[in-house]
Structures are given as C-alpha cells and as structure tokens.
C-alpha cells in the first residue's frame, strides 16, 4: 500500500510535523518500535524483499536506490534523522535502502505501524504530510532531471543539502557516485563542477565531504539558470 521513503517537514500541515521526536502521538509509535544500528554500506532492505517494516532514521543517513537490469543505478533519495523509510511501499520493496554511514534507526512492524496510524489522527496527518512532501520534492527533482544543466543540478543539490543544516556548512556523507546517481550525472561531472564552483569562489571545500556555501546568492541564481 506504500511506495516511498518519506520525510516529514514543516511545509505542510504545520510546525508539529518537524517536532516529531517530541510529539505525544509518537508515544504510541515508540511502544511498537525497536532500535537498531546499521553499519556503513549495509542494506536495510533490497528491491524485491517483502516490505514488512517501516523505519525512522534516528541518526546517520540512508540512501534509497533502484537498479536497471544493465547495472545503471538511480538514487531516489537520501534520508536523514527524522525521515521515515519504507512507508508507502507495496507488499514488495521497489527500492533498495542502504546506510551511507553508521546509522541508527527505529524499526516498526508494518501492520502495527499502519494500525497506529489508522487510530491516531495526528500521526495519520503526519504520515500524510510526509507523503505530500515526498511528492513535492519528487516533482522538484523531475524538473531538475528533465530540464536543468549539470551546474544547475549541483547548485540545486547543494542548496537542498544546506537547507537541512541551518548554517552555510554542508555535510556530504554520500560519495560522489551517490550524488551523480541522484542527479542523473556521472562521478566525473560532479567532481569537475564542484571543482569549478570552488575555483570560482562560490563554495569552499577543504575535504570532499565538507562544503561551505560562500556565495549563496550566486548558487541560488545558478540553480535556477542564470
């Protein structure tokens, strides 16, 4: 009955959404959940597996992806603390979920999770909002993939990642290959364009995983095509 990994954030419904961790409705959830840890690179589940659990990222980061028969990969999403994984999957997984770094998750049996959601209006709305949010960001990405140039994609990506962390600093726990597969580019192009942005002084990058948005306005205009 479900299909994607979800993210509950502030845009829809209201502020309640972001505060998941401390909301009363979560109590009902926590009762049925168990904590688990996943090492970097380990899979939470694979395409084709039975979808009998729902997860929430507590710490770390998850990457969801799909594989084509010839090995081409597409990264559907990166999930960070607070995001749900595996909600909205049908009975069978349509994607693979792997930890891109040491990751802590809460794991809920799907039946129970759905029962709780069914009972609890507030949680139901939360899940619904997460679903809407997922759809909205999927649409943003379709525009990105369908019509944006490589520079525009990278700029958009950096801004998206920056939105999750308030200051200008961006942590990129994923590899260049992950970024490439997320943006529909190749590793080389990602690397080249990051270097170019660095050379132009738009971003700073001492280590490959740590980026600082130096000229955010410039990035924003680049993201939109300028």
Partner DNA sequence: CGCATAGTTGAACTCTCTCAACAGCCGTGG
Partner DNA sequence: CCACGGCTGTTGAGAGAGTTCAACTATGCG
Q: In residues, how long is the chain?
A: 226
Under rule CB under 8 A, residue 190 binds a copy of itself = no
- The Cα–Cα gap between 177 and 174 comes to 8
Residue where the block lists tokens 């700073």: 204
Cβ(194)–Cβ(216) under 8 Å? no
Under rule CB under 7 A, residue 65 binds DNA = no
For the beta carbon of residue 12, count every other beta carbon within 10 angstroms.
16
Q: Pick one of 12, 164, 198, 215: the residue that binds a copy of itself (CB under 8 A).
A: 12
In the region spanning residues 60 to 79, those forming contacts with a copy of itself, defined by CB under 8 A, are: 66, 68-70, 72-74, 76
142 binds, among a copy of itself, DNA, none (CB under 5 to 8 A by kind): a copy of itself
107 binds, among DNA, a copy of itself, none (CB under 5 to 8 A by kind): none
Under rule CB under 8 A, residue 2 binds a copy of itself = yes
Q: Pick one of 175, 212, 214, 215: the residue that binds DNA (CB under 7 A).
A: 175
User: What is the contact surface with DNA in residues (CB under 7 A)?
Assistant: 149-151, 175-177, 184-192, 194-195, 205, 207-209
User: What is the contact surface with a copy of itself in residues (CB under 8 A)?
Assistant: 1-4, 11-13, 66, 68-70, 72-74, 76, 88, 90, 94-95, 128-129, 131-136, 138-139, 141-143, 145-147, 181-184, 224-225
């Amino acid at each position: 009955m479900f299909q994607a990994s979800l993210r509950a954030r502030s845009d829809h419904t209201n502020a309640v959404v972001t505060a998941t961790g401390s909301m009363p409705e979560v109590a009902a959830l926590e009762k049925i959940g168990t904590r688990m840890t996943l090492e970097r690179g380990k899979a939470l589940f694979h395409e084709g597996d039975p979808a009998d659990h729902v997860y929430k990222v507590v710490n770390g980061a998850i990457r969801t992806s799909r594989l084509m028969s010839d090995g081409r990969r597409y990264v559907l999403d990166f999930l960070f603390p607070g995001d749900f994984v595996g909600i909205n999957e049908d009975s069978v997984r349509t994607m693979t979920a792997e930890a891109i770094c040491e990751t802590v998750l809460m794991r809920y049996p799907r039946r129970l999770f759905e029962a709780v959601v069914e009972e609890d209006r507030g949680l139901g709305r939360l899940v619904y909002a997460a679903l809407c949010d997922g759809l909205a960001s999927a649409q943003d990405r379709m525009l990105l993939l369908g019509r944006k140039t490589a520079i525009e994609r990278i700029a958009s990506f950096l801004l998206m990642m920056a939105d999750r962390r308030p200051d200008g600093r961006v942590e990129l726990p994923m590899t260049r290959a992950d970024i490439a597969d997320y943006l529909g580019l190749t590793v080389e192009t990602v690397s080249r364009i990051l270097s170019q942005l660095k050379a132009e002084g738009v971003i700073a990058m001492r280590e490959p995983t740590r980026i600082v948005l130096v000229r955010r306005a410039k990035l924003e205009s680049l993201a939109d095509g300028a």
